[in-house]
Amino acid sequence: MLRLVIKSWVFVILLSVVSVLQAQETFTFTAIPDQDETRLQERFGKVAAYLEKKLGVPVKYVPVKSYAAAVTAFRNNQVQLAWFGGLSGVRARLLVPGSKAIVQGYEDQFFKTYLIANTKTGLKPSEQFPTDIAGTTFTFGSKGSTSGRLIPEFYIREGLHKSPHKAFKRVGFSGDHSRTISLVQSGTYETGAVNYKVWERELKEGKIDTSKVEVIWSTPEYPDYQWSIRGDVDKKFGKGFEEKVQSALLNMNSPELLSAFPRKSFVTAENDFYKPIEDTARKIGLLD
């Protein structure tokens, strides 16, 4: 009889635990697809495991196919947190009142874009904007990219006094920085714009043949990537949850996780840091 009572209580307890776990909200996040999907899955799967341990709630990384899809997922509350570029972060926060940029990589305070060229063009590295890039075929990254579209387009318009479609023989959008490098290296496009961190990582990994493609110019520094969070997370996950997320991201100091971004460390961010990005986007017509 005693055994039956004990078994009944164990069963009740197990049901209660299962019910609690099922009732727990899952905290979801995404990231702009600025590199190949395999690399992103590897990186952010580890971030999800780290956050789940620190936050005490189930955490899931939700991959998306485009920058626009990342913004849409954030707007629709399909994700509550996102690793955005400067422009995609501005767009998302404008669509979700109360949302905040809370953390950025140390290097994101001083980001750069490289203009790269296939060596057959004869274009050489320069400290000044290379006006002789005009008339080549040119590829940006994603249409919604800060480093792969917004910033290089701004300097192209300033340096050549023309829109890209008038300045170049042909203009494309590769979709991500790794592909931009590949397209210029192969000669599919003669020139392009690439995130300097992706260039430097792929150069270190031996994926770039500098006899075929090289950096010809670097933009001035600007603010870029950041973690942005919806303003209603405390309501959904409990008071102080936003602060817990920020603290967890700031303390994400594992060499393995940092090298996957790659970033030296993470530091605090605020919406106002990205006002220059918003102003530039409005100036060249990428924001209404």
DSSP conformation letters of 180-226: HHHHHHHTSSSEEEEEHHHHHHHHHTT---TTTEEEEEEPPPB---E
Question: What does the pLDDT look like over 153-210, one tens digit per residue?
Answer: 999 999 999 999 999 999 999 999 999 999 999 999 999 999 999 999 999 999 999 9
Rounded to an integer, what distance in angstroms lies between the CA atom of residue 284 and that of residue 282?
6
Look over the chain and give the mean of its residue pLDDT values, rounded to a whole number: 91
Give all strands (DSSP E) within the chain, no chain letters: 27-31, 59-61, 81-84, 100-105, 113-118, 137-140, 170-173, 191-195, 213-218, 226-229, 266-268
Could you tell me the two tokens for 127?
């400290």
Could you tell me the two tokens for 192?
């392009």
Question: What does the pLDDT look like over 238-256, one tens digit per residue?
Answer: 999 999 999 999 999 999 9
Rounded to an integer, what distance in angstroms lies between the CA atom of residue 92 and that of residue 254?
28
pLDDT at 1: 53
Position 42 confidence tier, pLDDT thresholds 50, 70, 90: confident
Does position 134 have pLDDT exceeding 70, yes or no?
A: yes
Does position 17 have pLDDT exceeding 50, yes or no?
A: no
Q: Where in the chain is the domain with CATH 3.40.190.10?
A: 2-108+223-283, 112-218
Does position 19 have pLDDT exceeding 60, yes or no?
A: no
Give the Cβ contact number of residue 162 at 10 Å: 12
pLDDT at 14: 42
Does position 13 have pLDDT exceeding 90, yes or no?
A: no
Give the CATH fold of the 112-218 domain: D-Maltodextrin-Binding Protein; domain 2 (3.40.190)
Position 3 confidence tier, pLDDT thresholds 50, 70, 90: low
Between 241-250 and 37-55, two packed helices, what is the crossing angle to 10 degrees?
Answer: 120
pLDDT at 36: 72
Q: What is the pTM of this model?
A: 0.84
Q: Which residue has the higher pLDDT, 41 or 86?
A: 86
Question: What does the pLDDT look like over 72-120, one tens digit per residue?
Answer: 999 999 999 999 999 999 999 999 999 999 999 999 999 999 999 999 9
Which CATH number describes the domain made up of 2-108+223-283? Answer: 3.40.190.10
What is the torsion angle, in degrees rounded to the nearest 10, for the CA atoms of residue 102, residue 113, residue 180 and residue 94?
A: 40
